[in-house]
Every structure is written in structure tokens, then in C-alpha cells.
Amino acid sequence: MLFENPTIKEILKHYRVIWALGHARGLMGWDSETYMPRMGVEERSIAAAEIAVLSQKLLLEPKFVELVEKASSMEGLNEYERGVVRVLERAIRIYKKLPPSLVAEKAATSQKAKAVWREAKEKNDFDMFKPYLAKLVELNRQTAEYLGYEEHPYDALLDLYEEGLKTREMERIYDAIIPASRSVLEKVLEEGYYPQHHPLEDERYDAKALEEVNRRILDLLGYPWDRGRLDVSAHPFTSGIGVRDVRITTRYEGFDFKRSLLAVIHEYGHALYNLQIDERFIATPLAGGASMGVHESQSRFWENMIGRTRVFVETMYPLLREKLPFLEKYEAEEVYRYFNTVRPSLIRVEADEVTYNFHTLLRFELEKQLITGEISVDEVPELWADTLDRFLGVKPRSHAEGVLQDIHWSMGAMGYFPTYTLGNVIAAQLRAHILRELPNLDELVRNAEFKPIQEWLREKIHRWGSMYPPQELLAKKLGEPLNPEYFAKYLVEKYVDKRI
């Protein structure tokens, strides 16, 4: 038994109800993005909000908090038990420090802000969204003050998404990857081997045929259909409802088939993480990932470091060619180049591996300055355009493709974007470590033998769930701390040396 200590056992018994509410909310969230009738949205959001309040209440019940505090000062807990205490203490600390009135105001504001943002984006009207953005910045500033920080108020916000991450550390990461990304980008644009545009982006596909391809690829990757599903949603996502119920989605836009296919592989990476968590963690606080960044590293690893490789494309080529007749005109190498177009662009979610991190850096810089009050929301569109111009030499022609493109700010999420870059950086580090133990990685992919890769990820990352904070997990299991140099090297190896 993992959990022997009587106090821990009591904690887990109480926690089961909180877990059950989370389970229900997970299913409700999945449903509202897939099959819920459109008119169900209002009742669904009332129900979801009530359940959120209820689970917060259960988490902060004095009897429960006391038990967690008691366990926290206990000696002789095993590593699993200490993990349970750490996760719960952190959740309690965050909830306790934030006054309920602030939490409620943030929820209500973002509920409205999301609707306004949608309309503002459609109408390309930043002024419409501006008061909501200003309010959400102010609420985030207050959040940082209540949570407390040592160096930078933004530290407190980063920590909400990535336990322990500091502004200074994130700056160090960007310093390590941005100059390298810039020089790789210049080289790629000069050479033109990885094209800025590829004619396959305009080829129209039959959605049924592509769905068959996607399902076949998931078969080859070993996605367990008795523990998962593939459905359609406006934006692809993964829903980890339980360790044995992990569902993914993609979308079919009718052209540029890699968007749908690579989204499937991306979400598969997220799903595999949840599916390989130690089953003894079911219904405990450990049955989740280590952090947003570590989770994203799993999706990025499979999407980019498997899915976009030459050997993977070559392996899948016969299948693609069979189901997508327009590929008759294109050899495997062409499909590989199509999977890896590189261009300075305006939209983060469409950005390639070389330019992606410039987009999160832009948001990181703006968010930091908004939180300290160095800049006001009025200045954001112009600063956005100027910074992107400086980074990538492109300027948005509208607010919709500039400051209004992402949903995150309307949801009140500030401090979230850097975790995407963290995911890219961790993925490159994992790849380097996998290669040390599986130097025949290419061979494995060529034979569609993904099991050894999955097993490696299970042992190093997945099985541990949320037992360790992200930095500790990496240090423990890789034998070295997070190191962004791997990402810089990876970009050169792939895009300059063309060896991946």
C-alpha cells in the first residue's frame, strides 16, 4: 500500500469527494466543447460555478485543513504521502490567501470578458475589450499582492501555473533560446529548404478520409481506445477525466491537413501523460501532471520531435498517400517540408517551432509590465505591433490578428503563456536524454515501435503524477536541472543541419 499513515488515509477519504466533483466537472467541460446543445451553455456554467464553489468549500473545511497541517509536520511519511501533503498544502495556501470576494469578482469579470472578447475580436474593436482587460489586469495585480512574492509581483502569477517558476528564471530561459532562434530563423529564410509556404497548405481534403488517417495513426501510437476517445471540437484539447478515461479532440477545417493531424499527435502526448500515471494514484491529489509546462512538454515532444521528423513522415507516407489522393503529386520529402514550413507570422497558435517562442516572449514582456503598472492597457496594441516587428519583422494589420487573438487574457489568465515555451524547452531536454538511452530512436519510429519511448516517458515523468514540483521532478529523474541549451541545440540540429 502506498498510503499507510492513518492521517493520510483520513485526508484521502475526505479528498475523494473533492476528486469526484473534479471528475464531474471534467466530464461537463468535455461535453460542453463537444456534444452539448448550444443552448445548454447557461445552465452548464451555473452548474460548473456551483460545483467549483462547493469543492473550494470542501478544501477549506477547518477539519480537513487541520488534518493537512497535522500531516505536514509529521515525520516518517513516505514519499507518496509527502506528495499528497505538498499538493494539498499548496492548494489550500492559494485559496486561503485569496479573499472570496476577489475570486468571485475575477470569475464574474472573466465570464463577461470572454463574451466581450469574442465580439471585440469579430468586430476588430480593441476599445470594446479595453475596460475588461484593464479590470482583469487590476484583479491579477491584487492577486499577486495577496499571494505574496519576494522579487517580482509576476512571480506570484507564474507560480499559479508552474509551481516555483520565477520571472528571473523565465528571463534566463528566454535569454538562452531567443538569440539562437533568431539566427536559425535567418538561416532558414535565407536557404529556403524549409519553405515559408507550401502548396499542400491549400490542398482540400475529405474530412472522413483524414479522420481515418488520424485514427490509424493513433492505433500505431498505441492509443488505448477502451480508455480514450477522439472527437471533434472548435479547438483541439485533451480531457483527463480519469487515469482510465482520457479523451482527445481535433478539428477538420477542410484544407491544410497537417493542422488536424499534428493536433491529434499533440493531444495524444497530453493524453499519454495522464494514461500512464500510476493507477494507485486514482482518486487522490497525485492523479494529475506535475505542471502546465511539463504537460506541454509531452504534447510538444510527440507533435514536434516525433510527428514532424523526417523518419515519422516517411513511415506514415504510405498511409497518407492511400487516404489522401492529392498526395500523388508529392513525395515523402515534400510532405516533410510541408510539415515544417517556417515563417515569421502574426498568430501564435499557427507558429512553427523556430518562431513560436517569440510569440510567448512578447506576451511575457507585456504582462510583466502591465502587472507592475509600467505600461497601461492603452499602450498594449502599439507595443504589441512594435515588439513583434522587432522580433519577427511582421506587424498585425488588425487587432484581431494582434492583441485580440488569444482567449487567455479574457479568462483572466496572466502568467500562463511562458508555460508553452517551458514545454518546448523541456521537450528538447527529454529528447536528448531519450537519445542517450535509445540511440536507435529513428529506427524505432521507422518500425512504428513506440513502446520503448512510451516506457521511457512513463518511468521518467508520467508515473509520478503530481508527486514532485516540476523542477524537482526533472532534477530527480534526469539527473540535471532544466536546461534551455538543449532547445537551442535542437533547433540548429534540425533546421540548420537538417538531421532530424
Phi and psi torsions of 231, nearest 5°: -130, -175
Q: Is the distance from CB of 468 to CB of 290 less than 8 angstroms?
A: yes
Positive or negative: CA dihedral 306, 308, 312, 316: positive
Please give the Cα distance from 318 to 332 (Å, whole number).
9
**Going residue by residue from 293 to 322, which x/- string records binding to Mg ion, judged by CB under 5 A?**
------x-----------------------
Nearer to Mg ion, 381 or 423 (CB): 423
Taking the complex as a whole, the smallest distance from the CB of residue 270 to Mg ion amounts, in Å, to 6
Please list every residue from 153 through 212 that binds Mg ion, using CB under 5 A: none
- Least separation in angstroms between CB 276 and Mg ion: 17
Which is catalytic among the residues 81, 162, 163, 267? 267
419 in the Ramachandran plot: left (φ > 0), alpha (ψ -120 to 50) or beta? Answer: alpha
Minimum CB separation from Mg ion for residue 255, in Å? Answer: 23
* Shortest Å distance, C-beta 432 to Mg ion: 21
Q: Is 267 a catalytic residue?
A: yes
Site string for Mg ion, 258-297 (x = CB under 5 A): ----------------------------------------
Q: Classify residue 328 as exposed, middle or buried by CB count within 10 Å of its CB (0-12, 13-18, 19+).
A: exposed
Please identify the residue of the shown chain whose CB is closest to the bound Mg ion. 299
Nearer to Mg ion, 299 or 360 (CB): 299
Please report how the helices 310-323 and 332-339 are oriented relative to each other, as an axis angle in degrees rounded to 10.
110
Closest approach of Mg ion to the CB of residue 262, in Å: 11
Greatest distance between any 2 Cα atoms in the chain: 68
Give 299 or 421: the residue with its C-beta nearer to Mg ion.
Answer: 299
Measured CA to CA, the distance from residue 216 to residue 324 in angstroms comes to 13
Q: Which is nearer to Mg ion, 143 or 238 (CB)?
A: 238
Separation between Cα atoms, residue 363 and residue 369, nearest integer Å? 10
Nearer to Mg ion, 352 or 442 (CB): 352
Q: Are the C-beta atoms of residues 343 and 197 closer than 8 Å to each other? A: yes
Residues between 339 and 368 with contacts to Mg ion, criterion CB under 5 A: none
* Shortest reach from residue 70's CB to Mg ion, in Å: 37
What is the total count of residues that contact Mg ion (CB under 5 A)?
1
- Residue nearer to Mg ion on the CB measure, 5 or 429: 429
Q: What angle do CA 144, 145, 146 make, to 5 degrees?
A: 95
Separation of alpha carbons 82 and 62, rounded Å: 20
- Residue 231's beta-bridge partner residues? 249
CB 388 within 8 A of CB 255: no
Binding site for Mg ion (CB under 5 A): 299
Tell me which residues are annotated as active site. Answer: 267
